[in-house]
Chains A and B, each alone.
Chain A
Amino acid sequence: MPTLIHGTTRQRAENIIRNGPNPRYHEPGGVPVNDGFSMYVDGGPYVFDSPEVYARGKARQFPNEGGAVILAVEIPEEIVNAADPLLPIEGGVVQFVEGFGIEELLSVWSALPKEIRTL
């Protein structure tokens, strides 16, 4: 199973581990969205900024959320393949959105191996 990672704050990572990714999550002070859930292939290569950059960016904006971490999850390949085709895995980013993999991901989420890496 490929390992995918998500850069975020510790508080959010712990919440995601408990409840699964929320494609409609909106940040404190933000507005309701339906953005899906973005993950990177562990080790890259990355065509966007790295997950560490995004994690540190979130930690700067929300300094009371426990600092920057990387959430790593092993995800079955068939679920990865169901993700948004706008972002092919060769680019290092996988986007789970409604209709493209998020439902499948949530259906097995509790059983997937996960870890939090402190930056």
Chain B
Amino acid sequence: MTTILADLEKSPTPTEKGQYVLWQDFDPRKRGGILGFVDDLLERLVCDRIRLHWIRDFVTEFPLAKEGESRTIHFPFRAYRAVIARMAALSDADATKDPFYPYRGIGSFTDSRWPHIRFDVDFDNRNGFLRLDLTPVFSSEPQ
């Protein structure tokens, strides 16, 4: 079941595991702009075990576990473009794999904060095809 939130949504209930600040609560001037936003976003995915499906200015969070509800958040489109650009730079997607790179790509990356987690990313920044899927993959071994 999907919960659709009509407007900007505040961060989920603060978790003891994560200190991220997201969505409506995110202040780019205090949190380092889009780099801080992506750092907080990855922390959210890891700490709360969720994946993202993002189209234009709507982000849907899905729990990795079968239980639990998804929720959709309205968020400024300009953030989507910047997050996609950061995903293109972080991941191993490149122009040898996709002629539309850096506007489209599939790849993965890791974050040194969580060496046992791989982030799979599938993005398209071309008008008419806008989409970002971002999924953390947990492993017992460093990625």
The residues of A with any CB-CB pair to B shorter than 8 Å are 26-27, 29-31, 33, 35-36, 46-49, 53-54, 56-57, 60-61, 84-88, 90-91, 93, 95, 97
Contacts and interface: CB of A to CB of B under 8 A. Distances in A.
Nearest to B88: A49
B37 to A, nearest CB: 7
B22 interface: no
A91 B35 contact: yes
A61 B128 contact: no
A57 B95 contact: yes
Contact of B81 (A26, A35, A88): A35
Contacts of A33: 127
Contacts, number: 70
A3 B34 CA distance: 22
A5 B131 CA distance: 27
B35 A57 contact: no
Contacts of B37: 86
A38 to B, nearest CB: 8
26 contacts: A26-B127, A31-B127, A35-B81, A36-B78, A46-B89, A47-B35, A47-B86, A48-B88, A48-B89, A57-B95, A60-B95, A60-B99, A61-B99, A85-B29, A85-B33, A86-B37, A86-B78, A86-B79, A87-B28, A87-B33, A87-B34, A88-B28, A88-B32, A91-B35, A95-B78, A95-B82
